[in-house]
Amino acid sequence: MVEITIRKRPRSEAVVTQRKFFKKTARGKVIKVLRERYLRDDVGCGIQSCQECTESCTPQANHLVMSGPDHGLFPDGHFLLPDTNVFLSQMDLLESPLFRPPIILLQTVIEEVRHRSLPLYNRLKALMAMDEKSIWVFYNEYRSETAVIREENETPNDRNDRGIRKAAAWYTTHLNTNVRGKAPKKPPTIVLLTEDAANRQKAEKDGLVTLSVRKYVEAMNDASQLLDLLASESEEIEPTRAASGKQFLYDEYLPSATLIGGVKAGQLHQGHFNANQYNYLEGSVSVPAFSKPVLLIGRENMNRATNGDIVVVEVFPEDEWKAPADEVVDQDSTLKNDDVESGDEDDGEDLVARVESKVVEYEKRDAEKQPTGKVVGVIKRLWRPYVCHIDSTSLTSSNATSLSVQTVFATPVSRLLPRIRMRTRQAPSLIGQKILVSIDRWDVTSRYPEGHFVRALGKVESKEAEQESLLLEFDVPYRPFGKAILDCLPKEGEQWVVPQKSDASPEWRDRQDLRDLNICSIDPPGCQDIDDALHARLLPNGNIEAGVHIADVSHFVHADTPMDNEAASRGTTVYLVDKRIDMLPALLGTNLCSLRPFVERLAFSAIWEMTPDADIVNVRFTKSVIASKAAFTYEEAQIRKDDANQKDALTEGIRLLNTIAIKLKAKRMAAGALNLASPEVKIHLDSSESSDPIDVEQKEMRETNSLVEEFMLLANISVAQKIQETFPQTAVLRRHMPPPKTNFEKLQDILMKRKGLALDVSSSGALAASLDKCLDPTEPAFNTLVRIMATRCMLSAEYFCSGSVARDTFGHYGLASPIYTHFTSPIRRYADVLAHRQLSAAIGYSPLHPSLHSKPHVERILGVVNKRHRMAQMAGRASVEFYVGLALKGREERVQKSGAGAVTEEAFVIRTFRNGLGVFVSSLGIEGLVMFKKDLQFDAENYTLSIPKPGSADLVAISVFDKVTVRIEVEKDKNTQRGRVKMTLLSPVDSKDM
């Protein structure tokens, strides 16, 4: 027990010990706030060899060690003391692993960063937590010598600057008296790092050593690489900045007060900016005021917004409204001639302008008119580092070894982003590499945003670079687990086993011994993290007992530990084709929690008693100890079940499970569950080492897949009911909202016009029934295609906290279940871990952690998990896409070797454009675009494109749902080295030269 003391605050020094400020309340009332401040002398300076601060009361472990003489200007060693601007503008530099001088981080700086930008504050926190950085947080506002009071007529900014200078001065004298330098017995220098020229002047007057970031980095030993990391605006914040004579390309944003006022008054509208991936000159913003998103056409109207930004738009009068373009406009091909250096008003400009104006001018189709407007302000930028390629045509210096600074274009991998102009010294070496680029700013005079180089990821198309760029693009946290997290694992490590059964051991408390049951697991081949196992047996009364046993992750991962926090922020395990990014350390995921066969494992079991008709008599949940008897793949289990000669208990169990699963599925379907389809393909890898994809095939669905699925659904539903009953306010549930009917309008229209089929979307049951009727007798794959397209019209499922939404919106549309949660995969999904904790509390096994009683807390965690879940799905899909590309390339080479020409596949048309076709190749699970060089005869009403036959005047009509044959090639973009799939039509018309 720590001793409780009374902290004395001298009354006589009320000026320093009290803080007075005025605050404006939400209602606009100004109130005076008086706060106390307790100043102390025991705030440590954090320098290792300091004689005075040895028993510092600050419990930070890593004391700063003086830097070696590796900096040209400070041979006696130094400590860096950066001010706020450095963190606000040069975070990439500070995060670089090459930049590692000891840093003193002032409390004033942390607070100012937090006040100015929350994302940067979060990055700063992550930076502080990194093991390899040496950063000491000095609480200068609590130390009596360094605390400052805001003076009259002083801005908060000036006060903070003064505080920083004071702390620097204190450190300098503190080091002089307490720390000796290395050889010449000179104390190390404190270097005040600031971008603010005025601040530097003042500091120099006070006798402090001060430098700008650029000067500091230039004198470092590995300067050339670090200099690229400097943000482009680091040309100093000079008091007077020469007004540039450049022409304004964009309108200035309105002042933020006008924006907020306009949004409140309903004249302006706020929403997320979504760029159009087919047309770089078009974007849209969904706003609550209109049912259709507001369309932004042309660069001027998009006004420097980038994908994801929260923007404010002004909507034009209704007679200026337009319909979205039905043309594909590719940035790469249109803008090839754009020059980087001077950039914006040269010869290429006219051409670009002409193409652009042509694109913007198309006839107004009344039916599809959308509200149209322009961006007048950005509330919040969603800029992050983007994965890019250097555009080789933008290189000015032809000298391949030139290290001079030059300006180049970086083209983001994502088609939703504009290219970024950046200055670099290593341009020649960066060509053909994937690099990470941050946007720093986007001025009204500049056509493109300006950014700086962060780091190189590796060669284009190398597995490592592609993998890392995927993870970065989808914001997947992939750093290895830190020490604090690994410390939460059981001490025994790999040797951990379930202890001998005894009343004394905590593992066995209230646990049921299910080791005798014939439990087995069924998973995809090569599965290491086995979350679930099953069993079934006949009861003497003729009923059937079926059990689902889930890995007991909550036994190992306790609430509010570093491991738990990390898992919560990761949210889910991410599966890429050749890599898995775990949510939990591998020791737990693939060993201690994984329900591997022939070993005893802790489990959380749901056990039902059912009638032979699969009606549930009762269900109970219990913590248990199980010993799985076998780990099957779906295929093995299927073979075993179908083999009539196998009569052992395990096989009988699988058969029993299967009969029930069939009945469960029938019931679910009768209740209106949807049978959805998504293009799932499987990548065959050559061998586990080389991971070269050989080929792609569609995933096969077996009876046993459905068996496992049915029981997992059953377990999830049963658990959802239980936890919702016990914790009506904070239960962790999952729902799937019914899609708005308007989402289906387009698909319904196409189906009706092209095939004469009607889609009834009034309920999930009706939709399921009408999807079943969408058949084309000549084309068996048509039904799957419609299902895929219907799935895309739906909303995605999400986790939610039961207390935060209305009870009647709990339902899961796709499963047609009134309530649902995720319980069955706690190793790879964090929501399941929460459900485990709640269920454990609901059955009285353990008390519920207070955080799970708090609605805001649960909501916040689930918000993160939802986001991560979405990102993980996209990352997985992108990874498959990349491998499909590689596989195609491999196939192409083989085909060419054999002399057959090119890879051809059958495809369905899913979209029609004025100058192209969107096609879906179901055998590869990819979508592609067939582009034509010129506009063709296009009937938008009937989704039909008429293509002239080569050599004759006949036209061939191609419309949505038509089956075509395409030639697939993998082509490398010469500028960006980006490999991409190019499709051309082979039949009915060969479009090679079109």
Partner 1 sequence: MGSRIEILNEAGFRSDGRRQFELRDLTIDLSKHGEADGSALISHGLTQVLVSVYGPREAKMRSHTFHDRANINVEVVVASFSTGERRKRQRGDKRVLEFAATIKSTFEPVIRTNLYPRSQIDIYVQVLQQDGSTLQTCINAATLALMNAGIPMTDFTLEENDIPHVTVAVMPKTKKVVLVTMETRLHVDRFEEILNLARDAGAILHQEMKEAILARSANISVP
- Provide the binding-site residues for partner 1, judged by CB under 8 A: 1-9, 11, 18, 23, 25, 29, 31-40, 57-60, 128, 137, 139, 141-142, 560, 847, 850-851, 853-854, 856-857
What does 236-305 look like in DSSP terms, one character per residue? Answer: -B-SS-PPP-PPP-SPPPPPHHHHHHHHHHTSEEEEEEEE-SSBTTEEEE--TT-SSPEEEESHHHHTT-
Structure tokens, 392: 């080789």
- The CA-based angle 308-310-312, given to 5 degrees, is 135
Answer yes or no: are the C-beta atoms of 570 and 583 closer than 8 Å: yes
Q: Which is nearer to partner 1, 32 or 491 (CB)?
A: 32
Structure tokens, 273: 């900016």
Shortest reach from residue 141's CB to partner 1, in Å: 7
User: Can you give the three-state secondary structure of 760-818, one letter per residue?
Assistant: CCCCHHHHHHHHHHCCECCECHHHHHHHHHHHHCCCCCEEEEHHHCCHHHCCECCCCEC
Q: Which is nearer to partner 1, 137 or 685 (CB)?
A: 137
Shortest reach from residue 46's CB to partner 1, in Å: 10
Shortest reach from residue 118's CB to partner 1, in Å: 9
Q: Which is nearer to partner 1, 105 or 750 (CB)?
A: 105
Structure tokens, 749: 């229209």
Answer yes or no: are the C-beta atoms of 439 and 410 closer than 8 Å: no
Shortest reach from residue 161's CB to partner 1, in Å: 21
Shortest reach from residue 489's CB to partner 1, in Å: 22
Q: Which is nearer to partner 1, 292 or 855 (CB)?
A: 855
Strand-strand pairing, 135-138 and 103-106 = parallel
Answer yes or no: are the C-beta atoms of 935 and 945 closer than 8 Å: no
Pick the closest to residue 452 from 225, 236, 221, 239 (CA basis): 225
Rounded CA separation 170/177 (Å): 11
Shortest reach from residue 454's CB to partner 1, in Å: 27
Rounded CA separation 804/861 (Å): 13
Shortest reach from residue 37's CB to partner 1, in Å: 6
Q: Which residues contact 525 (CB under 8 A, 6 or more apart)?
A: 633, 634, 635
Pick the closest to residue 436 from 120, 184, 9, 92 (CA basis): 92
Pick the closest to residue 433 from 981, 978, 982 (CA basis): 978
Shortest reach from residue 981's CB to partner 1, in Å: 46
Which bin fits 207, alpha (ψ -120 to 50), beta or left (φ > 0)? left
Q: Which is nearer to partner 1, 98 or 126 (CB)?
A: 126
Q: Which is nearer to partner 1, 9 or 159 (CB)?
A: 9
Q: Which is nearer to partner 1, 480 or 847 (CB)?
A: 847
Shortest reach from residue 60's CB to partner 1, in Å: 6
Q: Which is nearer to partner 1, 44 or 916 (CB)?
A: 44
Q: Which residues contact 752 (CB under 8 A, 6 or more apart)?
A: 758
Q: Which residues contact 26 (CB under 8 A, 6 or more apart)?
A: none
Shortest reach from residue 140's CB to partner 1, in Å: 11
Structure tokens, 412: 């983001």
Q: Which is nearer to partner 1, 854 or 942 (CB)?
A: 854
Shortest reach from residue 53's CB to partner 1, in Å: 13
Q: Which is nearer to partner 1, 655 or 855 (CB)?
A: 855
Shortest reach from residue 559's CB to partner 1, in Å: 11
Strand-strand pairing, 373-380 and 310-315 = antiparallel
Shortest reach from residue 558's CB to partner 1, in Å: 14
Q: Which is nearer to partner 1, 54 or 965 (CB)?
A: 54
Q: Which is nearer to partner 1, 16 or 940 (CB)?
A: 16
Bridge partners for 966 per DSSP: 905, 985
Q: Which is nearer to partner 1, 784 or 854 (CB)?
A: 854
Burial class for 751, CB neighbours closer than 10 Å (0-12, 13-18, 19+): buried
